Structure 1
Amino acid sequence: MLYRYTLPAAALGLAATMAQADPPHIAADILPTHGLVAAVTGDRTAPDLLVPPGASPHHAALRPSQARALAGADLMVWIGPSLSPALATARESLASGATVLTLSEVPGTVARESRPGGVFAVDGDDHGHDDDHGHDDDHSHDEDHAHDDDHAHDHADDHDHGPIDPHMWLDPENARAWLDAIAGALADLDPEGAEVYRANAETAKAAISEAERAAAERLAGAAERPFLVDHDSLLYFEERFGLTVAGALSASDADRPGAARASALRAAAAERGVACLLLSPEGRGGPAEALAQDAGLAVVVADPLGAALEPGPGHYPALMAHLSQAVADCTAPGG
């Protein structure tokens, strides 16, 4: 702490050293990222959150307090521009001098191709995605994913995920790799705290591994029971836990499904014995819920951002529990 009265000359060097030793200010993009950072920092410092709970990272517009947090950050931790293009612009104007850790670029990060909305192929099935797109679907798509979405939708003002699905935090393997990267970035900025950051990262990795084990146990048997989703945001979670998503009404915010896709999903649900649709919170009252009602599907709400969960060090393990329980409920026999 710096005081306003004049320090003796002998103390000036000590005061400067104390000022330099202050822990770095950190800005994190979304709640799962914020939770990982908080798990590494522990009590040494607390990160600021740029995208508040309930807001979409695809269209994040910073409030004045969030803009100030970003402007004052020594370290910005974010998934990357594919998830939050608006933050890329804000970073350039507000945090040009900050260290930036882009988690999607961390070595070892699992990255998966985006897929178009519609019916997904399952177990060698060859008719997925044919409702609106007219191309085959062994999860092998043109990288630009150009498709007409019922031939009449202008995507210019919406956010498209691009060739790589940006929801990378939903793979706990990525989260563990990122904890090490976060600890390393903080250690570079704050060498005095390096030991604490690395120890906290190890503790957090163990907690995530335990959450992953519990999720796998909760999801035992779920792989054989396909379900639908409104927005295709769970690909990493799906692949990590061997789940079967039969289709998605939309692939991204830019995707505007039409009647043909909804009809194909209803037919696929009947054919494959789908009994449930997993709905994101923002999908309440929308076309996906109407589809579920028309098809006689149960609806379970699941939030890949965990907006209702307590922020902080325990957020990521709690997110794994929340999502796995939602999928377990959605795929429960007779559910």
Structure 2
Amino acid sequence: MPLRRPLPLAVSAGVVLALTACSSGGSGASGGGDGGDGIAVLASFYPLQYVTEQVGGDLVSVDSLTPPGAEPHDLELSPAQVDAVGRADLVVYLSEFQAAVDDAVDANPPAHVVDAAQDTELHAAEHEEEEHAEDDGHDHGSLDPHFWLDPSRLPAVADDVAAQLAELDPDHADEFRANAEAFTRAMTELDEEYQAGLATCDSRTIVTTHEAFSYLAERYDLEQVGIAGVDPEGEPSPARLAEVGDVVRDEGVSTIFFETLASPKVAETLADELGVDTAVLDPLEGLTDESQDYVSVARANLETLRTALGCA
């Protein structure tokens, strides 16, 4: 049974128009049009959009190639979006995560690029899926991309973004650097909240629908057990489901986590068979509620983990 809802093959006309407007209305500092909307930036998906917005502030106009509510792993780009990549003042993306974005950057190189994969050390995926619902032709690579769930890894990306923005708009270089420093302080505070909140817990094992939380688990001394591997399109084999069931029983796991952009069916079915609860643990790949942001979702995740793991 598939873990993910089918993705739309094209974004809405409104999103395409917004991206086109962004790419054609750059700031005076970057030699763009006369739209007056600041430096035109494209981010490949939400966490990188958030970092760029925090660093750029009112001096940048940031759009995401991944529409709100869409699952980013298998993003497909329209011709207008591919064109917008080349016309943007700055593109912030994560190489080897979204193949369509990699292809667009290679085919239509923007003037300035931040590749977040160059700002952090990505580690190998914990295990590959034993079977797939279908061969979709997408190559997610052998590395786990979900580094953004460890807030201590994001300041390096912010510093890189600040440096690129300073090249585009030297008059505001000090402001970009100050914003990056403020962002680092915010991520340090969030990291300290996680360290304190997860210091003493009855359990340290988190069972999730797919292995999106390895960086979080590594940072806070937790053990992640994924029903499927790092690729959300993977379908767990009966043997894998049996292995996860053994872990839940042997380690007294009380909760199986599913995600905001994923079908809960596998998690709910397995939890029902094992007599345990389910809860949402958000991988922060995209927002479904405009009133939230990276920090508010991360704090909600922390409280969910504390409840499920019995943390003091």
What TM-score does the superposition give when structure 1 sets the normalisation length?
Answer: 0.75
- Residue 277 of structure 1: CA displacement? 0.8
SS at match of 1:33: helix
- Match runs of 1:89-100 below 5 Å: 89-93=103-107, 95-100=108-113
Residue identity opposite 2:297 in structure 1: L
Contact 2:45–2:72 (CA under 8 A) maintained in structure 1: yes
For structure 1, which segment, 272-281 or 208-217, has the greater mean C-alpha deviation from structure 2 after superposition? Answer: 208-217
- Residue 188 of structure 1: CA displacement? 1.3
- Residue 310 of structure 1: CA displacement? 3.9
**Using a 3 Å threshold, how does the CA distance of structure 1 residues 65 and 208 change in structure 2: closer, same or farther?**
farther
In 1, the alpha carbon distance for the partners of 2:303 and 2:228 equals 23
- Residue 241 of structure 1: CA displacement? 1.3
In 2, the alpha carbon distance for the partners of 1:228 and 1:17 equals 50
Contact 2:210–2:228 (CA under 8 A) maintained in structure 1: yes
In 1, the alpha carbon distance for the partners of 2:29 and 2:226 equals 54
- Residue 30 of structure 1: CA displacement? 1.2
- Residue 264 of structure 1: CA displacement? 1.7
SS at match of 1:110: coil
Residue identity opposite 1:100 in structure 2: V
Provide the residue aligned with 1:112 in structure 2. 123
Deviations 1:165-219 (A, max 9, x none): 1111112222011111110111112111211100110111111111111222222
Unaligned runs of 5+ in 2: 1-26
In 1, the alpha carbon distance for the partners of 2:28 and 2:232 equals 49
Unaligned runs of 5+ in 1: 1-15, 117-144
**Using a 3 Å threshold, how does the CA distance of structure 1 residues 240 and 255 change in structure 2: closer, same or farther?**
same
Provide the residue aligned with 1:319 in structure 2. 297
- Residue 319 of structure 1: CA displacement? 3.5
Is 2:284 the partner of 1:307? no
- Residue 160 of structure 1: CA displacement? 5.1
SS at match of 2:61: coil
- Match runs of 1:239-318 below 5 Å: 239-245=218-224, 247-251=225-229, 252-305=231-284, 306-310=286-290, 315-318=293-296
Provide the residue aligned with 2:216 in structure 1. 237
Contact 2:257–2:267 (CA under 8 A) maintained in structure 1: no
Is 2:310 the partner of 1:332? yes
- Higher-Rg structure is 1
Tell me how large the CA RMSD over aligned residues is: 2.6
SS at match of 1:25: strand
Aligned length: 279
Is 2:98 the partner of 1:87? no
Contact 1:226–1:273 (CA under 8 A) maintained in structure 2: no
Provide the residue aligned with 1:185 in structure 2. 164
